Amino acid sequence: MVNARSLWAHIVVAWRRIDAFHDELFVAPWRQALEREARRQDDTFRALVMLDALGVENPVAYETLELIPYLVGDLHDWHQRMGQDTFGDPGMCC
């Protein structure tokens, strides 16, 4: 009789193989376009959240103010993607 734990381990391995096959078959051909669209959406969202810092009136400032600490970690990658070598005051990022 097969051990239940061993059977479960075989099921998990088989599922991971099926998932990897699915990823290669359906996602891989469009991965670059999907990543580019995700970056575009992230950049748009980041710009919306940072409108006050950029000096623009933000119509949803009350709802997005609490999200700023989560976006600070990605600030360096974002401003370099936008083509700026430095961002903000000295010591703020670079």
pLDDT tens readout for residues 18-72: 999 998 888 888 889 989 999 999 888 888 777 777 778 877 777 777 777 777 7
**For the chain, which residues make up each domain, given as ranges?**
4-81
pLDDT confidence of residue 51? 76
Q: How many CA atoms lie within 13 A of 61 on its CB side?
A: 10
Structure confidence at residue 92 (pLDDT): 67
Residue with tokens 């970056």: 39
Find the mean pLDDT for residues 62-91.
Answer: 77
Q: 43: which 2 tokens?
A: 């950049």
pLDDT at residue 5, as a whole number: 84
